[in-house]
Structure 1
Amino acid sequence: MWKTSIVAVLLGTSLLAHAQQRPPQVVQWELQVLRDGQQIDAFDGTTTVGQARTDTHHKVVQHNVGCKDQPAGSIDLARTLTVSPLQADGNEITLSIDAQETFEDDAARQTDTGCKLPPQPRKVSASHPGLKMASGQWTSWTIVDKNPVLVYRVRASLTNGSNAAN
């Protein structure tokens, strides 16, 4: 009899603990990279709250340089983003975003004699520890404010499975 009671208590405790566990919240997000108002890249993903996702996009460019306008060495313009949902509910999403950008300056350069030089690569690192947005609505974060203007447009929402749990 007492064995049956212990089994019943253990089974009841197990069921109660299982009933109280919430399924993980999963956020679907999109990020557009805008340079001087034009979209130049895009990222998207589905990430569980408390986890992070890192993606890198590469664009290799080569320029003609010198007075003879000859091809020069190539430059890898890499963009790496780490996106981590910190909080999410049906109304608001908070993302942590870390970015490392390599892009070219807008200014065309020349030697003293007027021969073309390649644009200089520029590296920028930015971090937003808690970008808040209304669920499903676009919000903007300016990374570089001039020469060029570089803006991230971001939107996020809970996935259907997460919405059903809330």
Structure 2
Amino acid sequence: MWKTSILAVLLGTSLLANAQQGPAQQVVQWQLQVMRDGQQIDSFDGTTTVGQARTDTHHKVVQHNVGCKDQPGGSLDLTRTLTVSPLQADANEVTLSIEAQETFEEDGAQQTDTGCKLPPQPRQVSASHPGLKVAAGQWASWTIVDKNPNLVYRVKASLANTATSAN
């Protein structure tokens, strides 16, 4: 009788462990293009499991000639940090949460009262999209800044072919 009880416990434990594993996690493959005034200036891509997040930061250090003698001025680190998190995904549509922090230069050169060059001023923008819906294999657009400059994120996403994540 005790052998039957042990067998029942082992069988029950095995069934419970299999039930807790549940279905395989959905994995989303995505691309994000950063468009400034209609020109692509940066891109991000990744493969992320639904319910997880991926954060990437890109840096671009710039330096301008400034002053009346047109001498090199101090450098500025223009950063772009994105956090992309797939919320839902199926064969037809992916819903992504996107958080963005950008530091970029304003359009147009500035001058002092005497006509000496000033560097473009840095501008910082934070934006959040709680649920951008992207039709599988199609590009969706999200405007971050309307003008001076026009900054748009183009996003493409679909279910990945594999069940592993490169998060």
Q: TM-score, normalised by structure 2?
A: 0.90
Q: TM-score, normalised by structure 1?
A: 0.91
2:64 alignment counterpart: 63
2:151 aligned with 1:150: yes
Deviations 1:106-146 (CA, angstroms, capped at 9, x unpaired): 12100000010000000000000010111121100000010
1:119 alignment counterpart: 120
Deviations 1:47-102 (CA, angstroms, capped at 9, x unpaired): 11111110000000000001100000000000000000111111110100000000
2:97 alignment counterpart: 96
1:14 alignment counterpart: 14
The alpha-carbon deviation at position 12 of structure 1 amounts to 5.4
User: Percent of aligned pairs with the same residue?
Assistant: 83
2:43 alignment counterpart: 42
Q: Match for 1:84: what amino acid?
A: S
Q: Match for 2:103: what amino acid?
A: T
Q: Distance in 2 between matches of 1:8 and 1:90?
A: 41
Q: Distance in 1 between matches of 2:43 and 2:29?
A: 14
2:77 alignment counterpart: 76
| 2:162 counterpart SS class | helix
Specify whether residues 135 and 2 from structure 1 end up closer, same or farther in structure 2 by C-alpha distance, changes over 3 A only: farther
| 1:14 counterpart SS class | helix
1:138 alignment counterpart: 139
Q: Distance in 2 between matches of 1:53 and 1:118?
A: 33
Q: Distance in 1 between matches of 2:46 and 2:135?
A: 18
| 1:7 counterpart SS class | helix
> Which deviates further from its counterpart, 116-125 or 132-141?
132-141
Alignment RMSD: 1.6
Q: Distance in 2 between matches of 1:23 and 1:15?
A: 17
Q: Distance in 1 between matches of 2:145 and 2:40?
A: 15
2:111 aligned with 1:110: yes
| 1:126 counterpart SS class | strand
How many residues in Structure 1 have an aligned counterpart in Structure 2?
162
The alpha-carbon deviation at position 8 of structure 1 amounts to 4.2
| 2:23 counterpart SS class | coil
Q: Which runs of 5+ in 1 are unaligned?
A: none
Q: Match for 2:149: what amino acid?
A: P
Q: Which runs of 5+ in 2 are unaligned?
A: none
